[in-house]
Amino acid sequence: MVEAYAAPCGADPVRITGALVMMRRASLLIRRLDSYFAAHGLSQLRFLVLIVIDREPERRSLTPNDIAQRIDISKPVLSRTLQGLEQDCLITLAASRTDGRSKEVFLTAEGRQRLNDLLPGYFGILSEETAGPAPD
Amino acid sequence: MVEAYAAPCGADPVRITGALVMMRRASLLIRRLDSYFAAHGLSQLRFLVLIVIDREPERRSLTPNDIAQRIDISKPVLSRTLQGLEQDCLITLAASRTDGRSKEVFLTAEGRQRLNDLLPGYFGILSEETAGPAPD
DNA sequence: CCATTTAAGTTATCACGATAACTAAATAGC
DNA sequence: GCTATTTAGTTATCGTGATAACTTAAATGG
């Protein structure tokens, strides 16, 4: 089907198909991850926030701005997500002592626990994905 | 960074990284496509709806149910999308003559035009993606 | 040192995905 | 042939992404 469309546009059907297949695989993988996280009271985004704080080598906290840059997400979305995580007691927010505009985000013990609980399943899903045959 | 997390979980870091890279590439590609379509008054979803009707070999119309199955999307999302496309005069909706519950969705001349206008750029973006080096 | 500009976060609003609950029509089964 | 169930589509609600506009604090610069 791609050929009939791509050829008149001067595009390479092989490349097009490759890109489409990749998007399809990624989309299916994302669905699986979403449903995995949803079953455990998180989401991909919330999970990423936790992991990014946890893996920080030198510090035990990050600013919202740091987090947004590391996971490449807009600040408003992060702001909303942090509010949810705080309500669920997975993080704590404190005012920055060096910058009156900023905050510091810490993992709670429960947050770290939840993260560690979900990591094996997360990696399992990622491994299966790359293991399986490429779907059409 | 993956190693430190994956090893204790008994996961293969290479596979994990492969899956993460694929998701990253797909995510960037989707962003480019979104911004391309947004600049032309469409969206990926709206574009897919148009293409699926246009490429139908035997018929000039499809039912919403057909469309939802072909592009693997939920019916409510499609319903909302079709309303928008109809408002923008890119499709027309008619009651089905064989099934009182169903509808037929037709492309308008403007819809077909818009589709053909956007196809080259769409394929161009997909080609570039597969052409470029794999980003980290 | 005060005014302007830049930066961090939040709120408001919108697009797009999902599921649940609903209406109405078609089909099954007795 | 009338009830049951199934199916098509819509509405309502929610989660998650974006941008624009706003508030407040920091940095710049005359």
Which amino acid appears at position A5 of this protein?
Y
Residue reference for tokens 């590391």: A70
Find chain B residues with C-beta within 8 A of A123's C-beta: 5-6, 9, 11, 16
* pLDDT tens readout for residues B79-110: 999 999 999 999 999 999 999 999 999 999 99
- Do A11 and B131 count as a contact with CB atoms less than 8 A apart? no
Mutate to test the interface with B, among A1, A17, A20, A23 (most CBs of B within 10 A): A23
Q: A30-53 burial string, b = 16+ CB within 10 Å, else e?
A: eeebeebbeeeebebbbbbbbbbb
How far from chain centre, in Å, is Cα B136?
25
Residue A83 one-letter amino acid: Q
Distance CA A68, CA A88 (A): 20
Contact A127 B12 (CB under 8 A): yes
Give pLDDT, residue A41.
Answer: 82
Best to test chain B binding among A2, A3, A5, A129 (most B CBs inside 10 Å): A5
Residue A80 or A136, more confident:
A80
Q: How far is CA A91 from CA A72, A87, A100, B81, in A?
A: 20, 8, 20, 37
- Residues in CB range of B65: below 8 A, 6 or more apart: B75, B102
pLDDT at B127: 84
Q: B5-38, pLDDT tens digit by residue?
A: 666 666 677 888 888 888 888 888 888 888 888 8
Q: Say yes or no: domain A2-131 is CATH 1.10.10.10.
A: yes
pLDDT grade, residue A136 (50/70/90)? Answer: very low
pLDDT at A63 over 90: yes
* Mean pLDDT, range A19-31, rounded to an integer: 84
Average pLDDT across chain A, whole number: 85
What average pLDDT score do residues A37-60 get?
Answer: 88
Task: Output the pLDDT for position A29.
Answer: 86
